[in-house]
Structure 1
Amino acid sequence: MSRVTVRRPVLRVRQAVPAHRIDSLAAEEPLEIRVGGEPLTVTMRTPGDDFDLAAGFLVSEGTVAAPADIVAIRYCAGATREGLNTYNVVDVTLAPGVAAPRARNFYTTSSCGVCGKASLEAVRTVARWDVRDDPVELSLETVAALPDRLRAAQRVFDRTGGLHAAGLFTAAGEPLCVREDVGRHNAVDKLLGWALRTGRLPLRSAVLMVSGRASFELVQKAVMGGVPVLAAVSAPSSLAVELAAERGLTLIGFLRGESMNVYTCDQRLNVTPGGGNGSSAARPAG
């Protein structure tokens, strides 16, 4: 199997003192996703949880929504001269009657989750579940604790400092699943794939916490998984806020301790100690 980290020699300089040492780097390798033997897309990812990544990608594309939609996922033989498996190609067999998605025009980089889409309207995938009516309510204390709980589960980040993380949490702040990857959209797809393969979709009353910014594609993926709340430690984009408002998703940015900005659907956040929905107060400064 491919490695999650790679060790390389570096020259480390601290307070003008140089020293040679071995450093751990986050691995980044291409993964080709095929459906029924036909190439669909190539994404740059950190090896590991590849079957979840492939399944989650298909959830994000609106292709699958239940475990029964996928018959099998398997690794294909690699392209080495020795005939060894590189574990960089996976093939998904869909159930009869499940239409395969159209192949993308470009490969997907570790920083882009919607590369190859022909237009903005094509990106606005029709979601199977409506999160507008999800009644989940979160306490300020629960939301404030999410970044630390996510960070505590980032095992590979501790060695490399070079991975994004995404975690699914209950409304009480208990972790359901955490995934890491060089691409933040890959980390989320791995979560959606895990949820699909364990029969947890839609992810009602769940919170998606991400370690970076809240981009359009992450809001889109949350909606596609039926997640009503997305929280990020950094800023959202304008298009992310627009889509969140349109789909009824609660979008929280700049989440750092008890400081945060609630950009959409703030009625789900209870900021009043001892009760009340506190929606009128849920607009902290950025």
Structure 2
Amino acid sequence: MPPANEQSADPRAAATRILRWKQGALEAVDDSLAREEPLEIRVKGESVAVTMRTPGHDEELALGFLLSEGVIAGPSDVLEVAPCQQGEAALRGNVLNVFLAPKVVIDLAKLRRNVYASSSCGLCGKASIESVHAHFEPLAKREPVIAAESILKLPDKLRAGQETFEKTGGLHAAGLFDAEVNLLTLREDVGRHNAVDKVLGRSMLDGAFPLENHLLMVSGRASFEIMQKALAGRVGVICAVSAP
């Protein structure tokens, strides 16, 4: 393990000296803690959201966020995602600029969120309650059809891929599976909604979008927002570890 308080190779975890109570005694030990830092998302150079997230896969997160908000409908709506190159923010790597195709019409005032969104509640900080009701067409097909036996194996498959959770015990996860229940993409984050955004963003970058014939598995519960994001990605099946 790297020395305490030094940056580890994994941007999602930090090596830190902690105090641990064990067997009736307090001891100082080195441990890995999940990182949580703000990410500002800009569209056309203007800030539209600041969300707390686990660093890493930020381009995916920005794309998934804009998809879930109904700003973009797919990869063809995006020209480029680039880190901020001006000011102190560039050094921290916590600001992304998203450049949209000319065909995309966006109401920045309606979208903008000027407050920090809690990692445990991605709906917090909405500029208006109306922005919660993003409108997406219902799925045309009820596919894929997955055997119950295969679905019951998904939690173990998801857990096996959670490398940073193994170190920290502090991250949620979202996994994208194909119709044969093969794991295609897994992302970890302090926020379940962020992990889903990263999975959706990855699918757009890979040209594997939309996702009607895929299955999304999330740790924790299937909240309203998780279901909305899955619908935005056109995901055919959603599974969760906990009750809805």
1:194 aligns with 2:194: no
Identify the residue that residue 158 of structure 2 maps to in structure 1.
Answer: 150
Using the TM superposition, give the Cα deviation of residue 84 of structure 1 relative to its aligned residue in structure 2, in angstroms.
Answer: 5.8
- Asked which structure has the greater RCO (Cα within 8 Å, sep 6+), the reply is 2
Larger Rg: 1
2-side partners of 1:135 and 1:228: how far apart? Answer: 5
Deviates more, 1:143-152 or 1:190-199: 190-199
Q: Determine which of 9, 23, 40 is the counterpart of 2:31.
A: 23
Scaled by the length of structure 2, the TM-score of the pair is: 0.89
Contact 2:44–2:97 under 8 Å retained in 1? yes
Structure 2 residue matching 1:85: 3-state secondary structure: helix
1:99-248 aligned at under 5 Å gives the runs 99-100=105-106, 101=108, 102-117=111-126, 120-127=129-136, 129-236=137-244
Name segments (4+ residues, structure 1) moved above 4 Å. 118-121
User: What do residues 154-188 of structure 1 show as CA deviations (whole Å, max 9, x unaligned)?
Assistant: 01111100000000111221011000000110000
Structure 2 residue matching 1:24: 3-state secondary structure: strand
Using the TM superposition, give the Cα deviation of residue 118 of structure 1 relative to its aligned residue in structure 2, in angstroms.
Answer: 5.1
Structure 2 residue matching 1:143: 3-state secondary structure: helix
2-side partners of 1:116 and 1:84: how far apart? Answer: 25
Structure 2 residue matching 1:234: 3-state secondary structure: coil
1-side partners of 2:71 and 2:150: how far apart? Answer: 33
1-side partners of 2:193 and 2:135: how far apart? Answer: 18
User: What do residues 200-234 of structure 1 show as CA deviations (whole Å, max 9, x unaligned)?
Assistant: 22101211101111111000000110012111111
Structure 2 residue matching 1:41: 3-state secondary structure: strand
2-side partners of 1:217 and 1:183: how far apart? Answer: 12
2-side partners of 1:51 and 1:226: how far apart? Answer: 20
User: What are structure 2's unaligned runs of at least 5 residues?
Assistant: 1-8
Using the TM superposition, give the Cα deviation of residue 115 of structure 1 relative to its aligned residue in structure 2, in angstroms.
Answer: 2.1
Q: How many residues align?
A: 233
Give the 3 Å change call, closer, same or farther, for CA 34–118 of structure 1 in structure 2: closer
2-side partners of 1:104 and 1:146: how far apart? Answer: 35
Structure 2 residue matching 1:138: 3-state secondary structure: coil
What percentage of aligned pairs have identical amino acids?
Answer: 50
Contact 2:112–2:127 under 8 Å retained in 1? no
Scaled by the length of structure 1, the TM-score of the pair is: 0.76
Contact 2:83–2:90 under 8 Å retained in 1? no
User: What are structure 1's unaligned runs of at least 5 residues?
Assistant: 237-286
1-side partners of 2:118 and 2:201: how far apart? Answer: 19
Structure 1 residue matching 2:28: 3-state secondary structure: strand
2-side partners of 1:105 and 1:48: how far apart? Answer: 22
Identify the residue that residue 69 of structure 1 maps to in structure 2.
Answer: 77
